[in-house]
Structure 1
């Protein structure tokens, strides 16, 4: 039965719904303006992992801390890191605008923490800060930084210090306060030997922990590659991958067990594949070159043998010394006899057939063709000229 237009429309709708289900099962959030929101980050209750909440505000991604919010500058899902824009100074002061919020304060119960790639500088510090493991000497980078225009209002502050973030004391906060330091600046991946004009733009890098399988209430919340089951440890239901598949926390899907699951593993596999590919390619190249050399040598030997045979035949045909014999190529003989046309046949006998031929220089000749396998014919043939005038 031919499908009606209505049935065809229904079929298309089902296919689109199935495709949408496959996409939505990953629970990746839509873009925020022009910025992609990778899994597990979540801007809505219906996408991403709800433990990794961020906000989309007028096309700008926002990262919320315990008591303040910061715009997200960039996101790198391959190493699970994002960069936020730190607070600026209040006008005509050496005090950060988030001073009233005590600086950056992350919730330690959430899967985010400040990375050790941040070089943090504290300004307008009280003398009590010297008791902390910070570099507050005159050789500290913060003194070099305030010589520029951007933080010139902190040039006359009493004390400044520099430290690398990411330790136990700074994994979840960069603190500013009255009895400490009142301003701060952070730079990611800063080489302490660089001049100030080569420093990167300010930023605070935050990383997130790889997510577990998505939480579910029933099988409807999972895709075809996973099953909604309770965790034995805490009883929370999650979409666990079926047998033969493995949870890929970067893409938020169940993939083949043999697939690459982590950036480090992927890099290692790529290196191994590259080495294997180069080895195979070089081996194949050597093999091709070897075969080409052998074929060239074989062709050379065949050509030399043909030349020796031609000279030998010429010597045999010129034994009487009356004239120099000439060997003709088969295509020359065929052309002279119009491809041994019956119209050129002028005789036949026990030794073979004789054809009338005309060479390129106009010489008319008789071409004898010996019968193959007839020894007597071959003997008679060898006693005659190869090409004779008719």
Structure 2
């Protein structure tokens, strides 16, 4: 019976191919394939055969060693990337993409801008970022069109001489494999110089994107100047979509008929793409009039197609059952961890939302409701039935790593009760893609605020100072006063939100970790954002509380200078704000790099004090950095100290204030560890008490 069904499917596919083959191109004069690669519309070879320039294919014959020419297709506008396969149903295209390598002991970088402002992006659930080579530290960060950095990942491969074997997933080899952010188009790759770790080795190092399935099954060893398969997602922008043949007779916004339907998909902020698919029971090319073919009038063919369709439905149903079982197990895992880890105070406040409720709150997750995107997911603004505004984070892809980040964020936020940490209201376990529901924070991120995106309320010195104190207080609480110490691991200005009163709210706990009391560090694959990552963590893979301190030091530098953490406008040696800031201070040029608002409003002595604190946080030796407790105390002391002209008197005043605050912090720590609530007033600008949960 099984063999019969397989035979029916094969015959059905052959019949359907015969009917749909003629409709994969826009007209009979267009070339249907190049070599062994089918070229369906909207891609095409020759004038009038493709929808726009981005989809133009050039078919070239490449000579082999015998002098024979083998034609291969290339995407002309994407620097002639070789096309390996075009998948109309999934809106994906596989291409050969060059790897980045270096065989020297100096830092090397390369920018990959072929896809910038195009309808293509690197598929986040099909590709991986790989670093290979002895003690190779490779960085990849995405670049927006304005040359700003949006997201960075770091991969550090250990010096293990075990040979690479197929399917190893980089285990037990000099190799590192990690996921990539969504909506990735343009990115830079850097291989750091680590000569002191290589013991003089001249071994080459590699960093590249690759189709993860191909990598795990077909990859053997890297070579300089080689190319590997990479999967690109694609779509058509609205203007291009309206030029499709199927749109000539369309009058409604709902692009759907009995044979095909089209839907929208966000690639980048303010850029919407559309893709089409044939309806159930039809096969072919949905981008052409009549492209989705039906069945033949022959009864025999009808029978074959019906049998094949029935077999397909049976198989699809079984796959769906398997998927449901998988998601059910995941939900049980999440619920088990939630109720194992939640303290009694917060378990009642963390709600399990229904998917129907969240779909209604976001107009079915329409593009208009998107308020942010990151490496972990897309954030939508929503309104619940009771009128509350919420932010709903929808994960990008479904894999075990992302699901563990989802579980991790729920468990950690369920145990944090701090006014300067974003509040988790609940989550949704009913959908295939995990959803987290937070309180809505209306004024965006600190990065947006500092970069001048809010002209109505410019960032004054008092606001900057208060934000620094609030973030420091939240990190001190996480490190020292929470029921179990928590390392955030991704402190940056885009993860600091601002509420209606411009108070700071630390967010994004997907890669945060609990730490056992007395434990000094976490040994992990390097995660974080380039420009904020602790250099010692980057080199050793050991994350400590002082790694969060380093990232906070970068945020302090941002508050003082208004500069971005990474900027190509600075010189190569100082494109990192941390290096630029420390270098400027050591050269006595602090007041040359301060933001104009800071120069106009701040007292010189306080600015110098805060700058020196930031410099200590950015010390390359983590043992020389202050703890977050010391940072929070020093910021509080500087804020509370009055303006005094006599330097010696000012020093005595600051020391007195610091001593008094230290006593308050000691009281908080003692009362927290003894199971009582500690109360601390965080600043004179906001006199409401801060309650620390035990």
Larger radius of gyration: 1
Larger helix fraction of residues: 2
